[in-house]
Structure formats: C-alpha cells, structure tokens
Amino acid sequence: MSRPQIAHLDMDTFFVSVERVLDPRLLGRPVVIGADPRGRGVLCATSYEARKFGVHAAMPVAWARHRLPPETAWLRPTPEAYSAYSTAIHELLRQDLPAVHQTSIDEFDLDLSGCETLLGDLHDYGQRIQKTVRKEFGLPSTFGLSTNRLVSKIAVGTAKPYGSIEIPAGHEASFLAPLPVERLPGVGKTTRKRLLELGIHTVGDLAACSLQTLQTALGSNGILLNERARGIDRAPRPDAFSPRRRSSISRDVTLPRDSEDPTLLRTHLSQLVESGCQELRTLRCTARTITVRIRYSDFITRSRSSTRASTDIDLEIFDTSRTLLENLIDRRVRIRLIGIRLSNLQSRDEGLLDFQDSWSCWKRVLHATDRITQRHGPRTVRFGRSLIGESRPDPCDLFSPPKRSPQ
Ligand SMILES: [Mg+2]
C-alpha cells in the first residue's frame, strides 16, 4: 500500500481577499476587518499591509487605531460573503477529489493518497488547484503536501502567502526541527513557558528532549508533543467521502460597556446562542459540546464547557450556556466580552433523529423562523430574552475572529 499523501490548502488572508474581490479598490492598501473602529471590539482579520504596522486579528480596535496609517480601509465583516466563497471553494475541490475535509471556513485537508496515477505529480496538482481557485474566485492560497496533516499544515504556515511546499517522506522531523516550538499545535503560552524553562526553543530541541523530562514537566501531553516534534501525527486521516463539516461554530461579542449585570449578560448570551444555532441548523449539524467564555475587564479570560446530548435547539443550548455562565463568574469584576463555542459537531442525520419528540413543535417553529431570517435578514424574528435590557450590539460584532495565524 502506498504511503499516505495528505495535502493542506489554506486561503491567504481569506476575509480580506474576499473583500478585495468584491471591491478591487482595496488592493494594495492596509485593510482591517472587525468591530466598529470607534467602539471597543476586536479585529477579526488584517491584510499583510496592515500587519506591517504591528496589528493582528483579535487585537482591540482601539489599539489598532493608533498604529495604522490614515489610508487604512476599516471594514465590517460580511460573513454571508465569506460563507458563500467557502462553500464554492469546497464544491470545486470535491469535483476532482472524493476525500476533502473542511477544517475551518478557509482550510481544507485533501487526502491524495494513491492518486498519483490519476492526478500526476501531487505537488504540481496542488499548484494547479491554487491557480484554479485564483482564476475562478480571485482568491490566493497556500498549498502544503506531506505524509500527514500535522506536517502539511505547519508547512503551509511557513510557505505563506501564495506559496506551495512539499515535505518528502522521511524529512518530516528535519523540516520541523529549526522551527520555533510554538509552531506545534498544542503549544500555547503556558506550555511554551514550561518548555523555555527546560531550555527548549525549537521543535528540534523538543524532539531531542528525553521523554522522562517531558513527562515530568507536562504529563502525557509531553509525550504527545515529542511525537509531534518528530513529525508523527496520530490524528486519523481526513475522512474519505466526508461531507462538508465544520469542527466548531463560535460567536463572541465585546460589550458596549463592561458589565456585571446578570440580566444584561444573559441577553448577550441569548443573542450569541441564537446566532450560533441558526448557523448550526443551516449546516444541518447538531452540537454536543458547548463552551462559554468570558473576559473580565482586566483581560483575564475564563471558559467552561459541557458535553451533552447532541442538539441544534436554541432553548437547550441556552439553558446549558446559562448554567455555564453562572458557574463561570467567580470574581466581582466587570465583564468585557462573552463568547460561545459549539463543537463536537455531528451531521444532523447521525446526531439527532427527527422523531416526534418533545421538541418537535419547537423544531417546526425554528425551521420557520430560520426561513424568515434567511429571506428578510438576521434578527427579523428574535427570542424575547434576546431583547431584554439595553443591549443592541451590532450584528457584525457577533461574528467572531478566527484564530490568529502563525504568520
Ligand atoms: Mg487562511
């Protein structure tokens, strides 16, 4: 059996690139996308021209405002456009390939194992995909190929933007060795600090460190990270013939003013749940894990999760989220941001059978309200609890920023 060949395709500055397709006057200018520039939200995307000024996704707009030049274009997100382009790219990839696994709105894993006869040289094939996506949609991307997803994804990070890279079989560890250790998934701020204390700066240092030292310092995670540092990926290969599937749906909002008013916090939470559940149902998915995140006014951030029977019903998710929020608040400090994350997603067919259960009436109501909001715009029909209090956040603020790219 031939060895696995797993490619990773990641769109470059996806949100900014879509905005530039829609308005070519943005080409060549610093572009930032996010909350109201006069408000307190955060950026959700930045162009490379803007990053030269030290701004990045997830940075508060107030900080970015002082760094960016006057010619910067400040845009509000247009999530519908990003979703539409994402779906179109996914459909294009699936025309050629059976095993396409979408891992985020702008990232795709492609299992090309055994496809050389059909597709020719796989690196050349990847470059042809990049050209096709650029020609069809005007969107740039970076392509990486190796024997596993972990290495391909990290390789893409080193080849951005507009690049392509192949790591031949047997060269995974030597490719990773000189990279800073935080390039490995699973190395966050805390782990990085622990590793630096051990004198581990690069992935190669981590690969060379004894398992006993790592286990003492980091427990079983130390063993896992050592494997990753040697280019070993234990994660299963992308599902062949998998349907389009997101791994999670996130929403968050920076409050207009820091608050500890429980009614107001619940109102915001309800709005986030409504928005998240609508997307969940649009994707024909249900979620098993619900995570609520808060950030206090001193920027300390806390989160708490609960895994339960899979659902796409606002009321069930709101009840769990409310309990999580109540258990989460353990300080008498005002709250600046609330977020939710719906993960452990299952396609509706496998997760929730449409039996005549106690929720069947609500499902009909939600189906009807989803159709109304799709036709007449978000927030045409609302839950009453989403309207209590003074909260009137901008719909754009409900669109949460992606994780910051390593670039
Ligand atoms: Mg990307």
Tokens representing 278 are 């609508």
The yes-or-no answer on residue 107 being catalytic is yes
Q: Find the 13 Cα to ligand 1 centroid distance in Å.
A: 5
Percent of the chain with pLDDT over 70: 88
Q: Of 84-98, 165-179, 283-297, 369-383, where does the model show the most confidence?
A: 165-179
Residues 6+ apart with CB under 8 A from 75: 19, 26, 31, 32, 33
Residues 6+ apart with CB under 8 A from 96: 119, 129
Distance CA 133, CA 20 (A): 15
**pLDDT tens, 195-221?**
999 999 999 999 999 999 999 999 989
Task: Provide the pLDDT confidence category of residue 238 given band limits of 50, 70 and 90.
Answer: low
- Write down the pLDDT at residue 3: 83
For residue 323, give the nearest of 382, 240, 266 by alpha carbon: 266
- Write down the pLDDT at residue 231: 95
Number of H helices, E strands in the chain: 16, 12
Number of other CB atoms surrounding residue 42 within 10 Å: 21
Distance CA 211, CA 225 (A): 10
Q: Find the 14 Cα to ligand 1 centroid distance in Å.
A: 5
Q: Which amino acid is at 341?
A: R
Percent of the chain with pLDDT over 90: 57
Cβ(346)–Cβ(310) below 8 Å: yes
- Write down the pLDDT at residue 1: 56
Q: Find the 179 Cα to ligand 1 centroid distance in Å.
A: 20
Q: Find the 393 Cα to ligand 1 centroid distance in Å.
A: 27
Q: What rounded mean pLDDT belongs to the chain?
A: 86
- Domains of the chain in sequence order: 15-78 (3.40.1170.60), 80-172 (3.30.70.270), 173-229 (1.10.150.20), 248-398 (3.30.1490.100)
Residues 6+ apart with CB under 8 A from 122: 5, 7, 112, 115, 116, 145, 166
- Cα distances from 184 to residues 79, 166, 179, 192, 232, in angstroms, run 29, 18, 9, 10, 12
Stretch among 45-54, 149-158, 232-241, 310-319 having the lowest mean pLDDT: 232-241
Q: Find the 333 Cα to ligand 1 centroid distance in Å.
A: 35
**pLDDT tens, 347-359?**
775 444 444 566 6
Distance CA 186, CA 182 (A): 8
- Write down the pLDDT at residue 239: 56
Q: Find the 362 Cα to ligand 1 centroid distance in Å.
A: 37
Distance CA 137, CA 90 (A): 12
Q: Which of 19, 107, 166, 172 is catalytic?
A: 107
Tokens representing 209 are 């460190």
Length of the chain: 407
CA 257 to mean position of chain CA atoms: 26
Q: Find the 347 Cα to ligand 1 centroid distance in Å.
A: 24
**pLDDT tens, 88-97?**
899 899 888 8
Q: Find the 9 Cα to ligand 1 centroid distance in Å.
A: 9
Rg of the chain on CA atoms, in Å: 22
Number of other CB atoms surrounding residue 391 within 10 Å: 20
Q: Find the 8 Cα to ligand 1 centroid distance in Å.
A: 11
Q: Which residue has the higher pLDDT, 373 or 26?
A: 26
pTM of the model: 0.68
Number of other CB atoms surrounding residue 47 within 10 Å: 25
**pLDDT tens, 80-89?**
788 888 988 9
**pLDDT tens, 41-62?**
889 999 999 999 999 998 999 8
User: What is the three-class DSSP state of 111?
Assistant: strand
